[in-house]
Structure 1
Amino acid sequence: MTNSVALPEVRALTLWQPWASAMAYGTKRIENRRWATDYRGWVLIHAGLTLDRQAYDLPLARPFLKRPQPRGAIVAVSRLVDCHENDGYCTLWSTPGQWHWEFTDLRTLARPLPWPGARGLWTPTPQLIASVREVIAHA
């Protein structure tokens, strides 16, 4: 996230664990949602307080269940570049019947930044954006 990113262009998305960790510390670059968005741009990746219990049954999630999982914190920044219906060609992280949100340019924060999340694609406060920029600048 560069200083040229305008504040209104930044959004945030809360993911349940271990999916936030899979994105921040792993190879997950597709987020599956029941709804689409026209937004494209920088997104703060927020690790929610909720743990997806179904993840214990999924081989892709197991490595992230063995490590500490930050909760209630911003863990990464990424660029949302596309949102499309299931096309059968995405990645192992794609779920059939869901909208696939494609992320690139991921930057993991050097330390999780505690912050309450919200539902949907939410607008972070200028204070939160400034705090994220500070953490990235001192990485």
Structure 2
Amino acid sequence: MSAMPLPEGDWIRGITIKQPYATAILTGAKTIENRPRPWRTGWVLLHAGQQTDRPALRQPLVARTIRGRELLTGAVLGVARITDCHQDPHGSPPCTDWALPGAWHLVLADVHPLPLPIPARGQLGPWKPTPELLEQVLRQLPELSP
């Protein structure tokens, strides 16, 4: 994979996502993340929160997507780029099977799973990673070059 140039400076935020949804994003199947408010486009660290949405594990779409995968929590698992943020027009079909009505849909692309998860604490809303955390992430993803 060729190097993907990244912007200099304050260019990345963290997003904390419950399992099993974080793993579904890492598989490439879940290309949107539902949020109550809009987010800006740009790069995000994909952080699996401490909680697992247990009822979601019984949903066929989720079960098929994560089958046989470990659901790690409390760690940064990858990097992705938010390319769009939108809501589906009222009464229109959802943009994907993962879209929730009324939610803001963060469209995710350029997903890069980390070879080794990095234990970290996240928070609600966009959060700024420490320089040390970002350095650990970039060490594992040499194809990304700030």
TM more than 0.5: yes
State the TM-score, normalizing by the size of structure 1. 0.89
RMSD: 1.8
For the structure 1 residues 36 and 109, does the alpha-carbon distance in structure 2 shift closer, same or farther, using more than 3 Å as the test?
Answer: same
Percent identical across equivalent pairs? Answer: 37
**CA distance in 2 between partners of 1:31 and 1:115 (Å):** 20
AA of the residue aligned to 2:115:
A
What residue ranges of structure 2 are gaps of 5+ in the alignment?
none
Displaced runs of 4+ in structure 1, greater than 4 A? none
* Residue number in structure 1 paired with 2:35: 33
Alignment of 1:107-118 (within 5 A): 107-118=112-123
How many pairs does the alignment contain? 137
SS at match of 1:20: helix
Which among 12, 22, 25 is matched to residue 23 of structure 1?
Answer: 25
Tell me what 2:142 maps to.
Answer: 137
Query: Could you tell me how far 1:70 is from its partner in structure 2?
Result: 1.1
Structure 2 partner of 1:56: 57
Q: Radius of gyration: which is bigger? A: 2
Pairing of 1:1-139 with structure 2 (within 5 A): 2=4, 4-37=6-39, 39-63=40-64, 64=66, 66-87=68-89, 88-137=93-142
Contact 2:94–2:101 (Cα < 8 Å) also in 1: no
| Secondary structure at the counterpart of residue 73 of structure 2 | coil
- In the alignment, structure 1 segments of 5+ residues that lack a partner are none
C-alpha contact (below 8 Å) 1:42/1:80 kept by paired residues: yes
CA distance in 2, matches of 1:67, 1:106: 17
